[in-house]
Structure 1
Amino acid sequence: MKTLHLLPLAFLFAFIFACNSPQKKINLTSNVSLVSNGVRIDYTDTGKGDTTLLFVHGWAINKTYWANQVAYFSKKYRVVTIDLPGFGKSGKNRTKWNTVAYGQDIKNVINQLGLKNVVLVGHSMAGNIVLQGCVDEPGHVLALVGVDNFKSVGIASADSVKDKQEYAKAIAAMKKDFKKVAIDWFNQGLFYKTTSQAIRNRILNDVTHTDSAVAIATQEWDNFNDVTALLKAKKKLYLINSDYQPTDTTGLVAKKIPFKLLIVHDTGHFPMVENPNAFNKLLDEVIAGLKG
């Protein structure tokens, strides 16, 4: 099932995902592109090291949301950020926008850039994407890091038929008035009381100026099963989640999926930009644990 996951508001709170720091203007070096299945992918490649951090952004935003992480982690590691096809500066010439297609992009990025010892970091929608990328290219991946996602893995809905009907209504609403629906979702479900106005404005500007056809297509129900994929990936799942909405780990425990939950307090859905210092500290902790 879908796990990003921009659903009608009441539905969203049950399903989605599954002190503020100012934004710094950081120049991302080596801004170039590669081609994955005929689609150009814009990326940055910064720093050096035996470990690579591959950062993948969430729905309707772009790779610049990792600027603070690039500046911090590239001092010790190779750091790659990408614009997913359909977003940012990447191409849009494709017809499939599902998790499987995006997972192939992650595999192609790893192979074409020769990445080794990769820590895949996926925000929001990209949680499933990096998970599929790991399933497709397990040999080079050290760990999976989800950022404010996988908040209800393995927890079945009481009425899956109704869920799909509600999901279809959400898609229809987006097709009718994309900007209004997107703004409502973010204002009522993804921002927190501490989210600064500057960050809110930035996100809403990027979301409302994205290609709505692509954005809607990425939200179509694609029957991706995160439990099956996590079991197949055979990697420990690290979750750096905000606590504005709780993370229910009972499904992960029940399915015996190894995980570690780390919490960024008092932020909304974008902890890497809302409190980059706290976020970076927790990701440092994840990497240190891998090396240990």
Structure 2
Amino acid sequence: MKNLSILLPLLAISLLPACNNTAKNTAALPIKIQNNGVNIAYTDTGKSDTTLLFVHGWCINKSYFTDQSTYFGKRYRVVTIDLPGYGQSGKNRASWTVNDFGKDVAAVVTQLNLKNVILIGHSMAGAIIVQAKIDVPGKVIGLVGIDNFKDYNAAQDTAKPDPEFAKVITMLKKNFKTVATGFFNQYLFYKTTDTLVRKRILNDVTHADSAIAIASMEDNSFKTGPKLKAANMKLHLVNSDYFPNDTTGFIKAGIPYQLLVIHATGHFPMVEKPKEFNVLLQKAIDDIGKH
């Protein structure tokens, strides 16, 4: 009994660090984000009252914002995500519309309890962040598009389906890798686009789930005119000029915008010229902060 009375306090003391470590480890575990049972992979960097949430474009993933996470994570909270169906996120659902993806982004904002969120969407994610802003009212303070909305025309929102677009979808369904690769080589790369960057992008495109990729492109809710109005927020754009940027549609529709142009890149300025891109993105963030 005497030995036991001595050992018990010692045993209790010896267990304290283990218990404390367990508590610390549990607290450090990242939050698992899901939307309707589908896992959403993400990174969460930096600390700030303002959050930059990056959403990737067609057939790529969150790793395309690694430079931005490093650069902006020193001043802001930076979250990057893999949209469901892409990257490390789940694929266990059947619908891949802009409305679906908007709810995915909204789920990230809600479940991470993000505040003062600036949504930054590349390519097809331009429409997605507009939808997400509508889905989480009061949380989003800014919208930034990356190489999208280059020739917005409100008339397109009521136009009949484009037969040429329908042909492209049919071709993709027949031979996804060949058609997608040809499209990227012809339209989305610039003469200065680095060879390694091209290889990286084409590798991600050709290894994407073709059914999900085609469904993502086929969705008609890319027609965003009414949603831009409903978002009731200035649209900031960091766009390359490899194709002209026509802003007359914004002016006619009364949609406020800021266009920041990055020269001599293709469709992926955040990886083609990350330093110049980051400077322009900071200008957009600064402008958002004025309002």
- TM bucket (normalised to shorter chain) is 0.7 to 0.9
C-alpha distance in 2 between matches for 1:128 and 1:38: 23
Larger radius of gyration: 2
Q: Report the count of equivalent residues.
A: 262
Question: What one-letter code is carried by the residue in structure 2 that aligns with 1:254?
Answer: K
Tell me if structure 2 keeps the 8 A contact 1:33–1:43: no
Deviation of 1:289 after TM superposition, in Å, equals: 2.0
| 1:192 match | 190
User: 1:112 deviation in Å?
Assistant: 0.3
Q: CA deviation at 1:160?
A: 4.3
Which shifted more, 216-225 or 56-65? 216-225
Q: Quick one: which amino acid aligns to residue 227 of structure 1?
A: G
Q: Distance in 2 between matches of 1:116 and 1:173?
A: 43
Structure 2: gaps spanning 5 or more residues: 1-28
Q: Which amino acid aligns with 1:95?
A: A
In 2 relative to 1, CA 204–32 (structure 1 residues): closer, same or farther, beyond 3 Å? farther
Trace 1:252-291 onto structure 2 (pairs within 5 A): 252-291=250-289
2:144 matched residue in structure 1: 145
Aligned to 2:76: 77
* Partner residue in 2 for 1:15: none
Query: In the alignment, what sits opposite 2:43?
Result: 44
Q: TM-score, normalised by structure 2?
A: 0.87
Q: For the residues of structure 2 that align with 1:147 and 1:52, how far apart are their CA atoms?
A: 17
1:55-90 Cα shifts (integer Å, max 9, x gaps): 000000000000000000000000000000000000
Residue of structure 2 in register with 1:207 after alignment: 205
Equivalent runs, 1:149-228 vs 2, <5 Å: 149-156=148-155, 160-161=159-160, 164-228=162-226
Q: Could you tell me whether the CA contact under 8 Å between 2:99 and 2:221 is conserved in 1?
A: no
- Higher normalized contact order (CA 8 Å, seq sep 6+, divided by chain length): 1
2:236 to 220, 223, 238: 238
* Structure with more of its chain in helix, by fraction: 2
Whole-Å separation in 1 of the counterparts to 2:174 and 2:263: 35
Moved more, 58-67 or 167-176: 167-176
Q: How far is the alpha carbon of 1:37 from its aligned partner? A: 1.5
- Asked whether the equivalents of residues 51 and 77 of structure 1 are also in contact (C-alpha less than 8 Å), the reply is yes
Q: TM-score, normalised by structure 1?
A: 0.86
- Segments of 5+ residues of structure 1 without an aligned counterpart are 1-29
**CA distance in 2 between partners of 1:242 and 1:32 (Å):** 35
Task: Give the equivalent residue in structure 2 for 1:247.
Answer: 245
The aligned residue for residue 112 of structure 1 is 111
Runs of 4+ in 1 over 3 A off after TM superposition: 30-33
- Does residue 95 (structure 1) correspond to residue 94 (structure 2)? The answer is yes
User: Structure 1's 32 and 58: CA in aligned 2 closer, same or farther, altered over 3 A?
Assistant: farther
String of CA shifts for 1:124-159, please: whole Å, max 9, x gaps. 0100001100011121101100000011222535x9
